[in-house]
Chain A
Amino acid sequence: MRHGKLTPAALRKYGFITSFLAVPVLLYVVFVVWQYIQAFQISFTNSRGISPKFDYVGFDNFTQLFQDDVFWAAVRHHVVLLLAMPLITIAIALFFSFLLNLGGGQRNGRMVGVPGSAFYKIVFFFPQVLAVAIVGVLFQAILRPDKAGVFNSALGAVGIDPVGWLIAPGLALWTIIGVMVWQAVGFYVVLFSAGMATIPKDVFEAASLDGAGRFTLFFKITIPLLWDTLQVGWVYLGIAAFDGFALVQVLSVDRGGPDNATTVLPLEIWRNAFTYSKYGVASAMGVALFFMTLTFAVLTLRVTRRERIEF
């Protein structure tokens, strides 16, 4: 079909596509896009959420935000989360999926995983099945700071004093990162396994024949051929690093404590809106978060852009 001409056939085709797209797009606009636009509007007002009346206050909410220690603490935590959480998750997930798919070496001329791979795959996926609230409650018991905690009673058995996983200000955020990684790894094992399955086996076999060990196979063959999947995983995890609300809310001392040591922006948005009735400030935080997430996604996709290897 040539461009620019609306033949009856083209009309039918586009009409067909449009009819399929209209409903989801409409739903998306009404329930997602419109809220974003409203948040931008409210961030310039002194709305308290309990009255339809409010005034426009310019950039006041943003000025207030930039002078707020708690806001900056939350931003710092997102930077830490952003650097640590995806990196640790991807490293562990890659390692596991390599072992599960290719780590067993060759058998009958085919690359196989370590013995029991099928079983491990299911086990690793378990955390993904649990709702994040359940994960939180589970880890409350595991991370309990006294001797009754699962970790601490295990440590106690070998004579180590209880560790304040969530109450030591320097450790609390890392503990929460640990829980996030635990929950995320399973999904990425499956994602990367699927990615590895699409890599033609003969590439591995050829490398193997040439004498490449597992180490070389992993770094020289697997990673380059898996780059697209890795990139997607990185963006997903990066966006997840801008959240963390549920786990911080359930696990941390006094919601975001001790001393703001674990607070994250979604938690502060929630607090400003529902505890302080400061919908304007909460929306301003939301706008800041929106731009941070967007910047991250764009940067990641640009920086990690490589020539696609066709196979």
Chain B
Amino acid sequence: MTQTPREITRRQMIQRVGLTALVAGPAVGLLSSCATSSGSDTPSAAPSAAATSATNPFGVKADAPLEVVIFKGGYSDEYATQSHEPLYKKEFPQAQIKHQGIQTISQTLTPRFASGDVPDVVNNSGTDMLDGGALIGAGQLLDLTPLFAAPSIDDPSKTVKDTIVPGTVESGFGGDPAKPYTLNYVYTAYGLWYDAKLFEKNGWTPPKTFDEFKTFAETAKGKGITPYAYAGKNASYYQYWMILISAAKIGGNEILLNIDNLVDNAWNADAVKQAAAAWAEIGKYMDKSYEGLIHTEVQTQQNQGKVALYPSGSWLESEQAKDTPAGFEYAMAPTPSVAASDKLPYEAIRAAAAEGYVVPSKGKNPQGGLEYLRVMLSKEAAKAFTEKTKSLTVVVGATEGMTLSPGLTSVVAAQTAAGQNVVTYSLFETWYKELETELRKQTNALMFGRISADEFCANMQKAADKTKADSSINKQSRSV
């Protein structure tokens, strides 16, 4: 494939989904067993701590300088310089803030970690990000548990954890035993995307069950519109996300945990079979040519009104911004329910937190680092981030009163409707690339009618067994 800049963004998106720290988990365990862990990673032990209070839960010294390093990539760093840092300064007017917006995070900071002269907050992102697992193993990162347990700035009766999207804390887990070391700040939701205007014009609503999906498909087909399509040539993973979401809706998130943990017969679970069978039925409405198209080609077709529903994530609207004609309004719907007995409701969506922020444990002002993250997780800071970057944050309700783009508005609505019903992000996608490659292959074969749902499950199980038996592949596991 020719790699367009947009594709790189998409891949980075996945890579950045904040799981890097978790990915490196077991290896870190090995490292930490031979490294001397001094246990000095609790901020209260640092000499510069001041007395804690309700408004200063970490005991930040009011005049302690704070150094912030932001990855100046797709989101730039204006959100930090124009909102987050001034907000911190408002709390501690005497504090000097040193800001650095750079792209080469690893090259710039690795020597500083080695010499012990580290900044207080690092936005660890981009192609040149620091190896989070290695840092955790070396005791260089602060455990963020106190941050999530601290009172929220907006509502001191709630903890920070209660004000952010479920799953965010876990997405930043790393080390062994696993602890949250990374704050993943950007919220990404996955579902079926459509043109709200087109649906309105035709009096359609997104299907809520697969039966409705089929009826809808017939109707759309009658109008000469392809009811559902994805790009088989380079984006078959968009489709396997949908199959996995459906499997989780049928059988709960443990179906996906089992797949990640390579549990025997995880792929042969009824939920996976039903999900595959349901989607294979929808595949029959898709023209064969979609297997040979790339994502932008199919997305353009949707912009031209030729495709009704398209599986993707919340970056789609900005990705297509320059190709979207006037009068086209992106909206996202959850994937349809498969059966009435589904464990998760129709409203459940897959969501993931990305774009990591860490607090080095050996900085001069780690309390300030934690406080900075707490400021970031206030509604005001989150709102400013969304305004500057056109991306949602993990802070719940931060966009209230804001004028959002149609697509983001629908994501917020879907997020609110989903509540705690969040389909977990699959980690095998980065853990076991061979399995992931096989899944792409089998997904195309299933959706374009070359294999049945049973064969799909059997083939995937065979690939999972092969991965499990392969001693050259590092095994990882997760419990949440």
Distance between B128 CB and nearest chain A CB, rounded to angstroms: 16
Contacts of A271 in B (CB 8 A): 437
Does B1 sit at the interface, judged by CB under 8 A?
A: yes
- Residue on B with the closest CB to A166? B292
**CB-CB < 8 A to A164: which residues of B?**
288-289, 291-292
Contact of B448 (CB < 8 Å), options: A165, A258, A260: A258
Complex alpha-carbon distance, A200 and B39, angstroms: 88
Closest chain-B Cβ to A77's Cβ sits at a distance in Å of 15
Q: Mark B423-451, 1 if CB is under 8 A from A, else 0.
A: 00000000001100100110011001010
Q: Is B32 part of the contact surface with A, judged by Cβ < 8 Å?
A: no
Tell me, yes or no, whether B472 is within 8 Å of chain A by CB.
Answer: yes
Q: Contact flags (1/0) for A154-169 with B, using CB distance below 8 Å?
A: 0000000010111101
Q: Are A167 and B291 in contact (CB under 8 A)?
A: yes
Per DSSP, chain A at the interface is: loop
Q: Are A146 and B293 in contact (CB under 8 A)?
A: yes
Contacts of B253 in A (CB 8 A): none
Q: Is A78 an interface residue, CB under 8 A from the partner? A: no
Q: Is B2 an interface residue (CB 8 A)?
A: yes
- A266 at interface (Cβ–Cβ under 8 A)? no
Our pick among B1, B288, B433 for the contact of A145 (Cβ within 8 Å) is: B288
Which residues of B sit under 8 angstroms from A278, Cβ to Cβ? Answer: 472
Pair B291/A249 contact, Cβ less than 8 Å: no
A254 to B234, Cβ gap below 8 A? yes
Interface string of A77-103 (1 = CB under 8 A from B): 000000000000000000000000000
| Docked complex Cα distance between A280 and B236 (Å) | 28
Is B292's CB under 8 angstroms from A253's CB?
Answer: yes
Task: Decide yes or no: A145 and B437 within 8 Å by CB, A46-B472, A254-B236, A257-B444 being known contacts.
Answer: no
Q: Given contacts A167-B232, A254-B232, are A145 and B291 in contact (CB under 8 A)?
A: yes
**A250 within 8 Å of B by Cβ?**
yes
The residues in B between 276 and 314 inclusive whose CB is less than 8 angstroms from any CB of A are 287-289, 291-293
Q: Bound state CA distance, A166 and B294, in angstroms? A: 13
Taken residue by residue from 274 to 295, chain A's Cβ proximity to chain B (1 for < 8 Å, 0 otherwise) reads as 0111101100000000000000
Within 8 A of A (CB), among B142-190: none
- Cβ proximity bits B250-292 to A, threshold 8 Å, 1 near / 0 not: 0000000000000000000000000000000000000111011
Instruction: State how many angstroms separate the Cβ of A258 from the closest Cβ of chain B.
Output: 6
Other-chain residue from A46, A145, A255 in contact with B292 (beta carbon distance below 8 A): A145
Given the contacts A253-B291, A275-B433, A258 and B445 also touching, CB distance less than 8 Å: yes
- Tell me if A137 is interfacial: C-beta within 8 Å of chain B: yes
Report how many A-B pairs have Cβ atoms within 8 Å.
73
Cross-chain contact of A253 among B232, B287, B470, B472 (Cβ < 8 A)? B232
| B475 contacts the other chain (CB 8 A) | no
Evaluate contact between A250 and B293: CB separation under 8 angstroms.
no
Least distance between B240 CB and chain A CB atoms (Å): 12
Contact A249 B288 (CB under 8 A): no
Q: Please state if B233 and A253 are interface contacts (CB–CB under 8 Å).
A: yes
Contact with B along A182-206 (1 / 0, CB 8 A): 0000000000000000000000000
> Which of A46, A143, A144, A167 is B288 in contact with, Cβ under 8 Å?
A167
Q: Which of B293, B448, B450, B472 counts the most chain A CB atoms within 10 A?
A: B472
Chain B: minimal CB distance from A203 (Å): 50
Query: Binary interface profile of A, 55-84, with partner B (CB < 8 Å = 1, else 0)?
Result: 000000000100000000000000000000
> A254 touching B233 by the CB < 8 A rule?
yes
* Residue among A64, A258, A276 making CB contact with B433, cutoff 8 Å: A276
Contacts of A281 in B (CB 8 A): 472
**Which chain B residues border A277 with CB–CB below 8 Å?**
433
Q: With a CB–CB cut-off of 8 A, which chain B residues contact A133?
A: 2
Q: Which residues of A contact B433 (CB under 8 A)?
A: 275-277
Bound-complex Cα distance A308 to B440 (A): 54
B309 to chain A minimum Cβ distance, whole angstroms, is 18
Please name all residues of chain B whose beta carbon is closer than 8 Å to the beta carbon of A257 when the two chains form the complex: 441, 444
Q: Which residues of A contact B440 (CB under 8 A)?
A: 254
Complex: A271 Cα to B292 Cα, angstroms: 20
Task: Type the 1/0 row for B191-234, where 1 means its CB is closer than 8 Å to any CB of A.
Answer: 00000000000000000000000000000000000000000111
Residues of A within 8 A of B434 (CB): 275-276
With A and B bound together, what is the CA distance between A162 and B287 in angstroms? Answer: 11
- Min CB gap A269→B, angstroms: 14
Report yes or no: B293 in contact with A145, Cβ–Cβ below 8 A: yes
| B1 and A259 form a contact (CB under 8 A) | no
Checking A144, A162, A254 against B444 with a beta-carbon cut-off of 8 angstroms, the contacting residue is A254
Q: In the bound complex, how far is the Cα of B472 from the Cα of A46, in angstroms?
A: 7
CA distance A155 to B430 in the complex (A): 42
Please give me the residue from chain A that is nearest to B451 by CB atom.
A259
Select from chain A the residue with minimum beta-carbon distance to B306: A146
Instruction: State whether A280 touches B472 (Cβ < 8 A).
Output: yes
Instruction: Render B454-470 as a binary contact track against A, CB cut-off 8 A, 1 for contact.
Output: 00000000000000001
Residues from chain A with a CB closer than 8 A to the CB of B291 are: 145, 164, 167, 253, 258
Q: Are B1 and A255 in contact (CB under 8 A)?
A: yes
Q: Within 8 Å CB of B472, what residues of A? A: 46, 48, 278, 280-281
Given contacts A46-B472, A146-B289, contact A275 B1 (CB under 8 A): no
- Give the distance to chain B from A154, nearest Cβ to Cβ, in Å: 16
Q: Is there an interface contact between A167 and B441, defined as CB atoms closer than 8 Å? A: no
B1→A144 contact, CB < 8 A: no
- In chain A, positions 125-159 with a C-beta closer than 8 Å to chain B are 133, 137, 143-146
Does B289 lie within 8 Å of A145, measured CB to CB?
A: yes
Which of A137, A162, A253: most chain B CB closer than 10 A? A253
Q: Shortest beta-carbon distance, A136 to chain B, in Å?
A: 8
Q: How far is the CA of A277 from the CA of B23 in the complex (A)?
A: 15
Q: Give bound CA distance, A144 to B434, whole Å.
A: 28
Most A C-beta atoms less than 10 A away, residue of B233, B292, B437, B472: B292
Q: What are 11 sample pairs from A and B whose C-beta atoms fall under 8 A apart?
A: A146-B289, A146-B292, A164-B291, A250-B1, A254-B232, A254-B440, A257-B441, A271-B437, A275-B433, A276-B433, A276-B434
Given contacts A146-B293, A277-B433, 19 further A-B contacts (CB under 8 A): A46-B472, A48-B472, A137-B2, A144-B292, A145-B289, A145-B291, A145-B292, A146-B292, A164-B292, A250-B1, A253-B291, A253-B292, A257-B444, A258-B444, A259-B450, A271-B437, A275-B433, A275-B434, A280-B472
The 9 A-B residue pairs whose C-beta atoms are closest, nearest first, are A145-B292, A145-B289, A146-B289, A167-B292, A167-B291, A275-B433, A46-B472, A253-B233, A276-B434
